[in-house]
Amino acid sequence: MAGLRSLLVCIVVVAATIVIPTSAQLSASFYNRVCPKALPAIRSVVKQAIFQEPRIGASLLRLHFHDCFVNGCDGSILLDDTSSFTGEKTAFPNANSVRGFDVIDDIKNAVDKACKGSVVSCADILAVAARDSVFLLAGPLYQVQLGRRDARTASLNDANRNLPPPVFSFSQLLSNFQAHGLDLTDLVVLSAAHTIGLARCGTFRARIYNDTNIDPNFAASARKNCPSSGGNDNTEPLDATTRRFDTVYFKSLLQKRGLLHSDQELYKNNGTDSDKLVLKYSRNPFAFARDFSASMIKMGSIKPLTGNDGEVRLNCRKIN
């Protein structure tokens, strides 16, 4: 009986595979049969890396975002420059800014060892590392969708064109997110990723010296570590609890204490839909946890390569 059932299940699975071999669907169970040890192996390296340096959790979360916003979640951000293309690492939003590439290499080595071969894509590693970072820093735990494959190219120009800069206005931020199939709620909850991590002085100088929608005490304090010229790489916490994935980011926006101009654009206290969302999440951690999870899954599903498209890279820094 059990034998017959598993035979039937096998037939159904094989038939489904034949009918839709290159379906663009991701699935939470993608590695369950081929390598059940994959996800625990990733979690363990991320945990060790965060133990060594809590900020790395923020950096890994940002890597996944910067991967997904440039031609989809395809691991393109991890590729080094080659003679045939200039990759994304030196694009303006990434240069001297994105970090965590060594941790991704460590994860890839660990996961290939656990799986006895290269079956887990670098794009999926980014998605899982981001999810685990949020969870390990006291944020929500969601079921990450899997089955992305890795790009065989990357583009500096596409990174410059697609990643939103911190000087963007509210309407520019919203258009940028809409161009990626995301909406206002996604913009507001995903921006709250800035509840962890740091920013460099060069990215918020204009805000703390010239913006009017800012708490003067907050601006004065941030100026101490960010002179009006020089000190571009001095860092400042993006919110007051940068090692904890909480709702302090939203509470800060209510007090005009957003560090980036783009953060404060989401809350101007004049009754916009964006204002209402910021207020709601500042008061309701459960709504934030739920909606952040949903928006991460949505962002993680931007134009994945699936089926026979792309490849599973042996080394996340170069194509096979």
Residue 217 has, within 13 A of its CA and on its CB side, a CA count of: 2
Q: Which of 90, 157, 228, 232 binds ligand NAG (CB under 6 A)?
A: 228
Residue 70 binds which one of ligand HEM, ligand NAG, none, with CB within 5 to 8 A depending on kind?
Answer: none
Tokens for 232?
């571009």
Which among 183, 180, 201, 1 is positioned nearest to 97, based on CA atoms?
A: 201
Nearer to ligand HEM, 155 or 195 (CB): 195
Residue 97 interacting with ligand HEM (CB under 6 A): yes
Residue 268 interacting with ligand NAG (CB under 6 A): yes
Q: Which residues have a Cβ under 8 Å from the Cβ of 148 and sit 6 or more positions away?
A: 26, 73, 74, 75, 121, 123, 124, 127, 304, 305, 306
Q: How many residues does the chain have?
A: 320
180 carries an active-site annotation: no
| Number of residues this chain uses to bind ligand HEM (CB under 6 A) | 26
Q: Are 78 and 316 in contact (CB under 8 A)?
A: yes
Task: Let me know if 121 is exposed, middle or buried by CB neighbors in 10 A (0-12, 13-18, 19+).
Answer: buried
Stretch that binds ligand HEM, among 61-69, 116-124, 207-215, 278-286 (CB under 6 A): 61-69
Residue 220 interacting with ligand NAG (CB under 6 A): no
Residue 206 interacting with ligand NAG (CB under 6 A): yes
Q: Name the phi and psi angles at 27, rounded to 5.
A: -150, 150
Q: Which of 17, 29, 32, 210 binds ligand NAG (CB under 6 A)?
A: 210
Nearer to ligand NAG, 89 or 207 (CB): 207
Residue ranges of E strands in the chain: 198-200, 235-237
Which among 184, 175, 310, 192 is positioned nearest to 251, based on CA atoms?
A: 192
Numbered residues of the known binding site for Ca(2+): 67, 70, 72, 74, 76, 88, 195, 239, 242, 246
Which residues sit at the interface with ligand HEM, rule CB under 6 A? 55, 58-59, 61-62, 65, 97, 99, 164-166, 168, 173, 190-191, 193-194, 196-200, 203, 238, 260, 262
Which residues sit at the interface with ligand NAG, rule CB under 6 A? 205-206, 209-210, 213, 228, 268, 270-272
Numbered residues of the known binding site for substrate: 164
Numbered residues of the known binding site: 67, 70, 72, 74, 76, 88, 164, 194-195, 239, 242, 246
The residues assigned a catalytic role are: 66
